[in-house]
Amino acid sequence: MTKTMYLAPFVRSYFEDHLVCRQNASRHTIQGYRDGMKLLLRFASEQTKKSAVNLLVTDITELLVLTFLVDLEQTRGNSIQTRNHRLAGIRKLFEYIAAREPLLLDHCHQIVAIPKKRGAALPAIRYLEKDQLGAILGGVPRETSSGRRDYAMLLFMYNTGARVQEVADTCGSWLTLTPPFKVELLGKGRKWRTCPLWESTVQHLRQLVEERGLKPGADGYLFVNQHGQPLSRSGIANLIARYTVKAAATMPGLQSLKVTPHTFRHTTAMHLLQSGVEVNVIRSWLGHASITTTNRYIEIDLAMKRKALETCEVGASGPATQPTWRSDVDILAWLESL
């Protein structure tokens, strides 16, 4: 009986009903799962010599999935982390199929049981020094409406440490521009968090809101293009890249640094940490699900401090001098003399 069960109806109901209606997954999450599923279906079609619409659930075997994952790394050049993300999407689909059709339980279990690959390297944390950040912000032309929008947006990103999608989704109604200043951000997992706003940020946001003609509590997008549409993730990234190139003319250190929207997020975290803000506050500020993620910034900060201390160590520029007690042959006799 299981041989006549086509994969397509399960895929469609998984995306249209389960992810959208039941889990209320974000658009970004759905698109990520969709892209991975398209790759899997194309690969399975090539391997089985069937069209995607004629694939059976049982055509997606444990061996085929494992071969697909190897192909992602070797042919497409995906990292282990990306490979594991693709596997996570596949496992969730087959968990859904197993719950819908008990006859496929054993088959689905074989795929769900495929373990993640170890050794995934965490993305490098790159952040801006304060003078580099100042150079980028200083290069934004605030005499134009688009420049004032860009300046307010970059300052907002630095203030909140928001993810780029969170920035793109921000609506005027999420802002509280009267004391206490704050913004409500919708983050990963459709979770809301509150982030305080600095007075300098509020001043530029107020100007933006007034120019846009947004009424208090209005639900329109905050950062929009000339057509009134919200800035996209790639649009925000392109703006940052352009201002970075401009700033690099006066700040040579920026020439070798790839500055992305996430660089601003890392910059916020590192500057908060260096200012003495407690790590759990930073975790809440950035919306990290786990304190382990926030602790990465502590490790980097400690490594930098350790390196600075080593350069300041007495005798660091020349041969280290041994303390007198280390050269004493009879250390016990020295201790007795104390």
Residue type at 205 in one-letter notation: L
Longest CA–CA separation in the chain, Å: 91
pTM equals 0.73
Of the residues 86, 163, 204, 212, only one is catalytic, namely 163
Q: What is the dihedral of CA 229, 234, 236, 238, to 10 degrees?
A: -120
Of the residues 107, 262, 266, 283, only one is catalytic, namely 262
What pLDDT, on a 0 to 100 scale, did the predictor assign at position 303? 67
CB 20 within 8 A of CB 30: yes
Q: Residue 18 catalytic?
A: no
> What would the DSSP string read from start to end of 56-122?
BGGGS-HHHHHHHHHHHHHTS---HHHHHHHHHHHHHHHHHHHHH-GGGHHHHHHHHTPPPPS-PPP
Token pair 């100007």 is found at 207
What pLDDT, on a 0 to 100 scale, did the predictor assign at position 338? 45
Q: Residue 305 catalytic?
A: no
Alpha helices in the chain (DSSP H): 7-13, 27-48, 62-74, 80-100, 105-112, 130-138, 145-160, 164-169, 199-212, 233-248, 261-274, 279-286, 291-312, 324-327, 331-336
Angle at 192 between CA 124 and CA 213, to 5 degrees: 100
List per-block mean pLDDT (blocks of 10 residues) for the chain, which spans 338 residues. 79 94 86 94 96 96 97 94 95 97 96 91 85 96 96 98 96 95 91 95 96 82 94 96 95 92 95 90 89 82 64 53 48 52
Q: Residue 296 catalytic?
A: no
Q: Residue 262 catalytic?
A: yes
CB 72 within 8 A of CB 78: yes
Q: Residue 107 catalytic?
A: no
Of the residues 91, 188, 193, 296, only one is catalytic, namely 188
Q: Residue 130 catalytic?
A: no
